[in-house]
């Protein structure tokens, strides 16, 4: 049996506002509830006008109690030959799957398929867990792993948030015990190894993994930094660059080693500056997801004469070293030939669908809200696969 006491967190006084949270030293963040940090980072954003932190935390506690009840009722499966192979004879996997099945089957937690091909950071409900706890219970890879980890930690499971390029996922990592990655989009679950995330959703070299600090379990300070970066994305896409710059500044303060926070700070600084200014930008070629968005009435000067690239596009610099980016008013010139593009157009941190072909959860029978799982093969297995293979643009 897994010892749950070993993973119990030390709790400290919980902050009541984002300002209080940002005033806590990074070394003391380990006692702050990850769900509370996430919800506080969503306050004041579009889509969070009716956010009630207390109500969301109460819902989370109720869901955790339901998960505990369903898990305790079905622990016998670990030794039942009808089920044991499904969980790979692992108590940890059984516990994880009952977190996922209770939330997804019982409460309708799902990936928001509207965001699968339409990358949009304007609605905070797609980025933070209040979109999963209230309303339609839909989210993305920015929020679903956070919810699973928040519930798991309430049950004292050793669960962590992990990132790869453009994607977040969850991990079970018990000291001296099992370690496996967890993918769930609401229709099924996968347990991919780290090598999978070097190829999906974007290919990454070992050097890029080291520089981007990918595939490492987040520390509490890194969790807060990731939530602040998501806040910055939402503010930037809602044309609030000065506030976005503040969010990115705090993310960089908490995790200065992660190069993406440096780049996003610079992108927000460009948006916040007046026209006709020149800004020096550092490009770190080992972090391929880094990109910047600018207003649609600006051009990016690529040198070599008049014109430039419409800055309403999301772009990535293709070279190394330092680059000068000059902003100026758009000048329409009918008949002007298209200029060679020195910037590679792309997208910034797409909200990748977690898994194109997830492994189905244990088959469920009809009837109860928290359905009793039937033996494998007892019912025709429905397809729990996502809608096609997804490979977001880089």
Residue 226 has pLDDT above 70, yes or no: yes
Residues contacting residue 274 through CB under 8 Å, at least 6 positions apart: none
Position 208 in a domain: no
**Look-up of token digits 């209080």:** 20
Total of domains in the chain: 2
Question: Do residue 169 and residue 94 come from a single domain?
Answer: yes
pLDDT tens profile 75-116: 999 999 999 999 999 999 999 999 999 999 999 999 999 887
Co-location of 123 and 173 in the same domain: yes
Question: Does pTM top 0.75 for this prediction?
Answer: no
pLDDT for the residue numbered 247: 97
- Three-state DSSP class for 390? coil
Neighbours of 174 (CB within 10 A): 16
**66-77 pLDDT, tens digit each:** 999 999 999 999
Express each pLDDT in 336-377 by its tens digit: 444 333 322 233 333 444 444 555 665 443 333 333 333 333
Asked whether residue 384 is assigned to any structural domain, the reply reads no
Domain identity same for 53 and 182: yes
Rg over CA atoms, the chain? 22
| 353 belongs to a structural domain | no
Would residue 304 count as lying in a domain?
yes
Residue 123 lies in a domain: yes
Range of 274's domain?
A: 241-331+338-345
Residues 51 and 184 in one domain: yes
CA atoms within 13 A on the CB side of 109: 28
- Distance between CA atoms of residues 326 and 110, nearest Å: 42
Is residue 225 assigned to a domain?
Answer: no
Residue with the bigger pLDDT between 299 and 38: it is: 38
> Counting Cβ atoms within 10 Å, is residue 390 exposed (0-12), middle (13-18) or buried (19+)?
middle
Handedness of CA 312, 315, 319, 325 (dihedral sign): positive
Q: Which of 152, 185, 201 is the last residue of a domain?
A: 201
Residue 54 belongs to a domain: yes
Q: Are residues 292 and 177 in the same domain?
A: no
Give the integer Cα–Cα distance in Å for 269 and 273: 6
In a domain, 391, yes or no: no
Task: State the Cα–Cα distance between residues 329 and 299, nearest whole angstrom.
Answer: 7
């Amino acid at each position: 049996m897994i010892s749950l006491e070993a993973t119990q967190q030390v709790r400290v006084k919980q902050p009541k506002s984002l300002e209080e949270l940002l005033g806590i030293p990074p070394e003391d963040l380990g006692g702050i509830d990850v769900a509370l940090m996430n919800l506080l980072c969503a306050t004041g954003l579009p889509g969070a006008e009716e956010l009630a932190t207390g109500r969301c935390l109460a819902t989370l506690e109720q869901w955790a109690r339901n998960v505990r009840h369903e898990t305790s009722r079905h622990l016998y499966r670990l030794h039942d030959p009808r089920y044991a192979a499904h969980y790979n004879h692992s108590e940890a996997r059984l516990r994880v799957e009952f977190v996922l099945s209770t939330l997804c089957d019982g409460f309708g937690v799902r990936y928001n398929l509207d965001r699968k091909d339409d990358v949009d950071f304007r609605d905070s409900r797609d980025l933070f867990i209040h979109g999963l706890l209230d309303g339609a219970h839909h989210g993305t890879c920015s929020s679903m792993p956070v919810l699973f980890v928040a519930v798991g930690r309430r049950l004292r499971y050793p669960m962590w948030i992990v990132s790869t390029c453009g994607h977040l996922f969850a991990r079970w990592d018990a000291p001296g015990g099992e370690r496996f990655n967890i993918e769930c989009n609401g229709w099924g679950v996968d347990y991919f190894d780290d090598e999978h995330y070097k190829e999906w959703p974007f290919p990454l070299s070992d050097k890029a993994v080291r520089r981007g600090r990918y595939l490492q379990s987040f520390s509490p300070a890194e969790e807060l930094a990731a939530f602040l970066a998501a806040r910055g994305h939402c503010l930037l896409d809602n044309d609030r660059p000065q506030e976005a710059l503040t969010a990115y500044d705090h993310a960089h303060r908490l995790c200065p080693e992660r190069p993406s926070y440096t780049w996003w700070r610079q992108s927000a600084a460009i948006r916040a500056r007046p026209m006709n200014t020149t800004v020096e930008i550092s490009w770190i070629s080992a972090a391929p997801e880094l990109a910047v968005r600018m207003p649609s009435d600006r051009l990016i000067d690529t040198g070599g004469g008049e014109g430039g690239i419409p800055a309403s596009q999301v772009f990535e610099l293709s070279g190394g070293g330092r680059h000068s980016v000059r902003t100026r008013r758009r000048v329409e010139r009918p008949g002007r030939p298209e200029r060679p593009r020195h910037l590679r157009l792309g997208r910034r941190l797409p909200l990748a669908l977690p898994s194109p072909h997830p492994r189905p959860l244990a088959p469920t029978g009809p009837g109860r809200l928290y359905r009793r799982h039937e033996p494998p093969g007892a019912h025709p297995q429905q397809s729990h696969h996502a809608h096609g293979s997804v490979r977001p643009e880089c």
